[in-house]
Structures are given as structure tokens and as C-alpha cells.
Chains A and B, each alone.
Chain A
Amino acid sequence: SQQGEEDPQALSIQEGENATMNCSYKTSINNLQWYRQNSGRGLVHLILIRSNEREKHSGRLRVTLDTSKKSSSLLITASRAADTASYFCATVLVGGGATNKLIFGTGTLLAVQP
């Protein structure tokens, strides 16, 4: 079963606007990662935030993590048409031992209109 639920399921914005996606998860995590997938292709890693971190930035990306609410958000600023893709959050659980097992959320489909 999937660990995370993402909200919204789909988002359509204009170029230059900001896009915010939210992810909620169920159990304690070691870290949370965000990935992008273009049209049924492989996933590309965007950013990783550890359970003891609250906010992280990478270029136009800003990720926040609230472990008390078991939620994370991904903000993409000044969106471009090339940002059109599906975005997934993925968690690595605490207590899983040495593993790279990712549990993915349901994904948000972002469409950026030129």
C-alpha cells in the first residue's frame, strides 16, 4: 500500500506562477524525497530532506517537512513549461534497517501553460 497521499492530484498554472504540492504520510520516516516523472519515463530525483530538517532549498525548489503533522510540501517558483510533469513524494521509513526502499505517494500531475 502507498505511504503517501498527494494533494492536489492535478494542478494547472501559467508560466511564471508558483506551484505548490503537498504530501502526507502515515508512519515515522528516516527521510522524504521528491521525484519528477515526465510522461511515463524514469523518475528524476529532485531533493531529499531528512527527518531532522524542516526546510531545504535547491534552485527554484523549496521543500518543507513537518514531522508532527506527517506532511511535506514542494514549492516550485517561477514555473516554466518544462516543469510540466508528475511529481511524487517518497519516504524511507524508520526501523527498516539498511534499505533504500522507497514508498511513493500518489503523485501530482503539474501542467504549466506557456
Chain B
Amino acid sequence: KAGVTQTPRYLIKTRGQQVTLSCSPISGHRSVSWYQQTPGQGLQFLFEYFSETQRNKGNFPGRFSGRQFSNSRSEMNVSTLELGDSALYLCASSPGTRTTNEQFFGPGTRLTVL
């Protein structure tokens, strides 16, 4: 099976712009989660989608949003970018509903905001 893929891998934007990141989970996985990693705050949970529904949400402003499609692919959007949004954005997929599942992570999208 192919692993979790994320596109693009690198992105440079300027303040005020918006950005959309994409994640394709492992085939058959229905749960997709997003995380932000920065040197200062570490790894922080953004949100999780399961069967096209947001199942859980982290403590991020409304500028961060996401969605999941019927094929389980997910996108996250950040509007009105700020310098502090520069980070590695990681997507993870998991098979199903149980909370004892390991997460399979993609390689990440490195976003730089100038």
C-alpha cells in the first residue's frame, strides 16, 4: 500500500495570503488528522476528520479550516497568513473508529510565510 502523501512539500507565501494543503491517506483509512509543528510550540493537533465529518478540533483560530472528501482525501486551508503560521504541517491517517490505532504520518508540507 502507498503511504500517506502530502502536497505540496514546500510552500512560500506572503502575509495576508491564503494557502491550501492536501493530504491523501493510506487506502482504506477513514480518519485523517492534521498537526502543526514549530520549534516554539512543538507538535500541536489541529483537527481530525472521519467520514467527511470533523470529529475533533484543536485550539487554533478560525483562520485554520479543513475538510474531507468522500474518498477520505483531506485538505486544510489557512487564510490571512501570519508570520507565525510558518511551520511543518503534518497529516496522519488511521484505519477506523478505535482510539487504540497507531497513526501513519505523511512527510509534511513545510510552509514559510514571508
Binding site for B on A (CB under 8 A): 2, 30-31, 33, 35, 40-45, 48, 50, 88, 90, 92, 96-107
* Closest residue of B by beta carbon distance from A93: B99
B108 touches A42 (CB 8 A): yes
Task: Categorize the interface residue count of chain B.
Answer: 20 to 34
Closest 9 A/B residue pairs (Cβ) = A104-B43, A42-B105, A45-B102, A43-B105, A42-B107, A99-B56, A100-B94, A101-B56, A100-B31
Picked from A31, A92, A98, A102, the residue with its CB within 8 Å of the CB of B55 is A98
Binding site for A on B (CB under 8 A): 4, 31, 33, 35, 42-45, 48, 50, 55-56, 58, 88, 90, 92, 94, 97, 99-108, 110
A33 touches B56 (CB 8 A): no
* Closest residue of B by beta carbon distance from A45: B102
A103 touches B100 (CB 8 A): no
B42 touches A100 (CB 8 A): no
* Closest residue of A by beta carbon distance from B3: A42
* Closest residue of A by beta carbon distance from B91: A42
Expressed in whole angstroms, the minimum distance between the Cβ of B92 and any Cβ of chain A is 8
Expressed in whole angstroms, the minimum distance between the Cβ of A44 and any Cβ of chain B is 7
B35 surroundings in chain A (CB, below 8 A): 102, 104
Q: With A42-B90, A88-B43 known to touch, is A100 a contact of B105 (CB < 8 Å)?
A: no
B99 touches A30 (CB 8 A): yes
B99 surroundings in chain A (CB, below 8 A): 30-31, 92, 96, 98-100
